[in-house]
Amino acid sequence: MTNCCCQQNYSVVANQLNHRWFRMTVSPFIATLLCLSTTYVATAQQSPTNAKPVPRVTPQSPTPAVTGVSASGSQISLNGRILAGTWLRQSTKAGQVITYLSDGPFRQLIGVDFLNSSNPARQPIAWFSSATKPVVLTTRLLGAYRYLNITNFAQTAGWQLQVNGNTLAIATPKAQVTNILPSQQSTNASITPAQPNRVVVDLDRPTPWRVAQGLPIKRPPTPTADPDTVTPKSSTQPNREWTITLDGIADPNLIQRYTPLPPALPDTAPTPTPLLEQLKQLPQAPDPDQLIQKVEVVNNQTIISLSVPFGLSPQINTTANPYRLIIDIRPDAMVSRNIAWASGLRWRQQYVNLGTERFPVVLLEVNPRAVGLKPIWTNPSTLVGTAPIIQTAQQYLAVAAINGGYFNRNNKLPLGAIRRDGQWLSSPILNRGAIAWNDSGQFYFGRLTLEETLSAPNNLKLPILFLNSGYVQSGIARYTPTWGTSYTPLTDNEIILIVQKNQVTNQLPGGKANETAIPIPQDGYLLTLRGNAVSNASQLPIGTALGISTGTNPANFNSYPHILAAGPLLVQNSEIVLDAKAEKFSNAFIAEKAIRSGICTTAAGTLMIAAVHNRAGGPGPTLAEHAQLMKSLGCVNALNLDGGSSTSLYLGGQLLDRSPNTAARVHNGIGIFLQK
């Protein structure tokens, strides 16, 4: 959400006789898919140049060379399809080869469910098997990923594993989809009984499966007697497509059953023309409210397309004996989890009640004294750009991450404070809420303003309104090498002052916006004079010596090397302090019900990063509801982050809270690193 300027038969492993099913949350919580330095204490007076080097990230292998690892890679081939996924192979002294697969592909692409755990070294799982008697796999942390030992799992399931360079090839036994049947789940009274809300998929053996959220399903226009009548826009949210893809081939009769028949001509109809005959043979579009829209086989996979009403999501259970996928369409599809993922890092998800409403929350609970946090952004070489949080987190080798502050989605520029290792990368705007922290696990929350003052001879002092910011206003702004190698004017008729070694070396007309790029000196910065500030150019001729004083308001922020701003501030000292108007957010933004991201600290000293999605059967929380939710989670201090399609909670190669194809590209975030 951009607030731009204002804002084989594996069942042998796990009790073949057990008929109970396990649950896997699939939406919006589908299992599909900070680099620390010494503490820096800022002072109120800082060097006017960008003397400290810009933080750089050197691309690294996701699986760095480690003793005992004989092979590693970043992609897998699943039954011939090349997919992203990190893996390791290790040879033991006894000559055994152990294969490790990271969390993401194991859950996203295979459909394996992770069950609650209290020991990060051992992960209980279920897959067409018993959740009450789960298989337990050993884990291994390496770099930014957690790997699970799948050696025995794969052997029992009849998989064939082979390494081809960077690729781990996995071949699973061929499976057949023997039946697909919609039915009514009588236990869910919230759905109209006349409509099926369950799909049962019968299989002849366990097989990989995955689920993905698609686009809204368009309804055909309602015909009217008067062709000039304007059809009113529907006030109801459209259904959304979901697809379940199984590695298996459906019986041809199933394909025919769910392929709409062509329209039938009446007996009295005249002999159709060739064109009418062709139209007659075309299948009808399915009713957009029909649960099963289509079943098709593509590349030896069966794809089941569903039409799911707004406010509902599929929840998938698997069973053994018979082997089945049971797909329930529910308003409360998320399943509670509490998984000790690594030392100092716990993955939780739960429903939080707020009056009569229930909100699904996915969060990571972090011990900031055991792990590190850093701001991260799309491209370490420039502040211009956006990318999926998955990509950004992996680039920095962060084990976990959440999207951060606001940005302009059009020009991909930051709209809020980013400070890392004591260096200001981008300044705050509009006195909005921010979080600050150090490498000792101490935090500070508040509304933040950066106060930079330009000083020149003759006691001339001028305010610098913004540093490396996409927020545009009449006045003076400053752009350093952190911005990138060059600056292109954001408004017409700017005056650009080139400053090198604290001295004005040139003045240039900026011309029209977005046209001429002006190099930023590595030993200085650019001053951009906009609007009424262009008159200050005469007071700053070539050769003028300049100085800059920098401080924060409140001054507490000065002492913290890392800062990220978004807003509004939600909770401070255990009290809700939400005042979105004071932080210059629009009325529409304040009233909106949307998916939201947040970050907070608790009385126990832990940090939580959280994603709150749509309430059961309805839209996401308002800002006021978000503040109450964060407080009810135990937050002593809490900050709202960018939300909506930007909300993305990442852990070890996967998004925990949504399908990756529904997550927007974002500018920045907060990364979590296991090494301090």
Summarize pLDDT for 474-509 with one digit per residue, the tens.
999 999 999 999 999 999 999 999 999 999 999 999
Between CA 659 and CA 33 the distance in angstroms is 6
Q: Is residue 377, in this structure, part of any structural domain at all?
A: yes
Nearest by Cα to 305 from 260, 261, 258:
258
Between CA 283 and CA 512 the distance in angstroms is 54
Between CA 541 and CA 457 the distance in angstroms is 11
Domain that holds residue 177: 173-183+197-216+238-260+287-333
| Same domain, residue pair 563 and 650 | yes
Please say if the pLDDT value at position 47 is more than 60: no
CA–centroid distance for 272 within its chain? 53
Please say if the pLDDT value at position 191 is more than 70: no
Q: Is residue 418, in this structure, part of any structural domain at all?
A: yes
Q: Is residue 269, in this structure, part of any structural domain at all?
A: no
Which tokens is 659 given? 């399908």
| Same domain, residue pair 162 and 119 | yes
| Same domain, residue pair 442 and 562 | yes
Q: Is residue 53, in this structure, part of any structural domain at all?
A: no
Summarize pLDDT for 339-361 with one digit per residue, the tens.
999 999 999 999 999 999 999 99
| Same domain, residue pair 384 and 497 | no
Q: Is residue 647, in this structure, part of any structural domain at all?
A: yes
Please say if the pLDDT value at position 9 is more than 50: no
Domain count, the chain: 4
| Same domain, residue pair 425 and 513 | no
Residue 12 pLDDT: 33
| Same domain, residue pair 92 and 179 | no
In this predicted structure, which of 234-248, 408-422, 577-591 has the lowest mean pLDDT?
A: 234-248
| Same domain, residue pair 485 and 549 | yes
Q: What is the CA radius of gyration of the chain?
A: 28
Please say if the pLDDT value at position 96 is more than 50: yes
**Three-class SS of residue 317?**
strand
| Same domain, residue pair 538 and 598 | no
In this predicted structure, which of 46-60, 167-181, 275-289, 401-415 has the lowest mean pLDDT?
A: 46-60
Number of H helices, E strands in the chain: 7, 49
Domain ends where: 553, 572, 590? 553
| Same domain, residue pair 328 and 348 | no
| Same domain, residue pair 523 and 646 | no
Residue 19 pLDDT: 36
pLDDT tier, 278 (very low <50, low <70, confident <90, very high otherwise): low
Q: Is residue 38, in this structure, part of any structural domain at all?
A: no
Judge contact between 488 and 510, C-beta under 8 A.
Answer: no
| Same domain, residue pair 562 and 655 | yes
Burial of 297-335, coded b for 16+ CB within 10 Å and e otherwise, reads beeebbbbbbbbbeebbbbbbbbbeebbbbbbbbbbbbb
Summarize pLDDT for 546-577 with one digit per residue, the tens.
999 999 999 999 999 999 999 999 999 999 99
- Residue 461 vs residues 94, 190, 495, 527: alpha-carbon distances, Å: 74, 65, 18, 14
Q: Is residue 82, in this structure, part of any structural domain at all?
A: yes
Summarize pLDDT for 402-458 with one digit per residue, the tens.
999 999 999 999 999 999 999 999 999 999 999 999 999 999 999 999 999 999 998
Residue 298 pLDDT: 95
Tell me, what CATH number does 540's domain have?
2.60.120.1140
Q: Is residue 265, in this structure, part of any structural domain at all?
A: no
Average per-residue pLDDT in the chain? 87
| Same domain, residue pair 460 and 523 | yes
Residue 33 pLDDT: 32
